Structure 1
């Protein structure tokens, strides 16, 4: 049985309609693969190629009937060409170092994660995560996840990119970084580094999750060109 046949056999459940968190006035629905289904790195890789995304052990994709604004976006790393803003970012972080680490608990990482969420989502329930929630969000036991750790010249922690290794690329799960250093563009730095790392590993893509045209929160993803978006049946190149 091929992997596509296995995907079709996976139990998938739909949520009820709820307010869209990205588009005002729209409702949303999400399809989830049964979290108790038997998964493997190969099957997970194929789901990523089919436009799915991971959050903890939950694999999902948009299932809205009336709206198809959410599209998976990936960067073909061997065709990517940096823009002026990317080169400025690399110059601003010329002394930074990156180390791949196992996805285990480190107090320093957790404290940075909390600082990042408090800056991005002040006053929300997300801004005070428990240690268990932190690890459950970033990892799953059926895939290989690395924590790429970014440090400055003085060995101060700048950020962490939780990244899955899939068959044809790197899938960026979540990146958190110091919120008090906007001049470093650390989110952009993490993506640029993952592009170079995928090239080094002779992989084809960096998967950045979902993108919505016109959504300010996601605009940065489309700055990496060329990129490809998944239209539900195939990947289309956007130059």
Structure 2
């Protein structure tokens, strides 16, 4: 194999399997391996044009007769939270966010397992071990970071004791040339009324605005899936059409 061939991605297609989001349908994925010998520009191009990353695999839906999965990204500078989002921010005003390198910890894994067991016990992550979680966090060839959200005690004098505060949520994200891609997030499952999932997206939109990145990538919105309906709330946003990203404003139909 020539050096040029090594740098050009080879694509593969998975076998059909039941779709986890739309009952009665089958899903397939087109995927390629992300390796250190692939040009950074190529990897970034994949992840800003519809591919998602899971460890060192970039994939995109490749389902026959179905185009329900649509890539979504929030337009950071124009985004304004609605009333329910402002309530979520208020409910989580005692949380402090801290971004770190992609280093998994046993504490993160305990929260991850509690979240999976409570919310996705029948999904593909149900059997993940600490080793699997470690691979999910560490196995990356691009700039990746973890954001921990901890609740600051009322009597805390400073943020120096951050790591001793209760861990409430975690987000794994990639930094791309034009935005932040939210790869996976999880939170304390017993606090469903706190709006932690919404809050993490809002906090990353604010972070992207501070560092001058125009987009926050939310992955796939799936028409007809209740699990993915929340992504339509974050507008204005762009959705990837057959040829280009298309703007969806607050006034457009969903």
TM-score (structure 1 length as normaliser): 0.91
CA drift of 1:37 comes to 7.7
1:103 paired residue number: 102
Match of 2:205 in 1: 195
Question: Alpha-carbon deviation of 1:65?
Answer: 2.8
Corresponding residue SS for 1:98: strand
Runs of 5+ in structure 1 lacking a partner?
1-5
Contact 1:13 1:34 in 2 (8 A): no
Equivalences for 1:117-128 in 2 at 5 Å?
A: 117-122=116-121, 126-128=125-127
Q: List, as ranges, runs of 4+ consecutive aligned residues in structure 1 with deviation greater than 4 Å.
A: none
Shift of 1:140: 3.0
SS of equivalent residue, structure 2 residue 134: helix
Counterpart in the other structure of 2:58: 59
The 3-state SS of whatever aligns with 2:200 is helix
User: How many residue pairs are counted as aligned between the two chains?
Assistant: 234
Partner of 2:135: 136
Partner of 1:17: 16
5+ residue gaps, structure 2, are: 154-164, 250-254
Greater C-alpha Rg: 2
Give the alignment partner of residue 227 of structure 2, picking from 214, 217, 227. Answer: 217
- How far apart are 1:125 and its partner, in Å? 6.8
Q: 2:236 aligns with which of 223, 226, 229?
A: 226
Partner SS state of residue 63, structure 2: coil
TM-score (norm: length of structure 2):
0.86
Structure 1 vs Structure 2 CA RMSD:
2.0
Distance 1:111 1:23 in 2: 29
Deviations 1:110-130 (A, max 9, x none): 111111111112366733422
Q: Which moved more, 1:105-114 or 1:36-45?
A: 36-45
> Is the contact made by 2:114 and 2:188 (CA closer than 8 Å) also made in structure 1?
yes
CA contact 1:77–1:204 (8 Å) conserved in 2 = yes
Cα 1:124–1:214 change in 2 (3 A) is closer
CA distance in 2, matches of 1:114, 1:172: 19
- C-alpha contact (below 8 Å) 1:112/1:177 kept by paired residues: yes
- What is residue 166 of structure 2 aligned with on the other side? 156
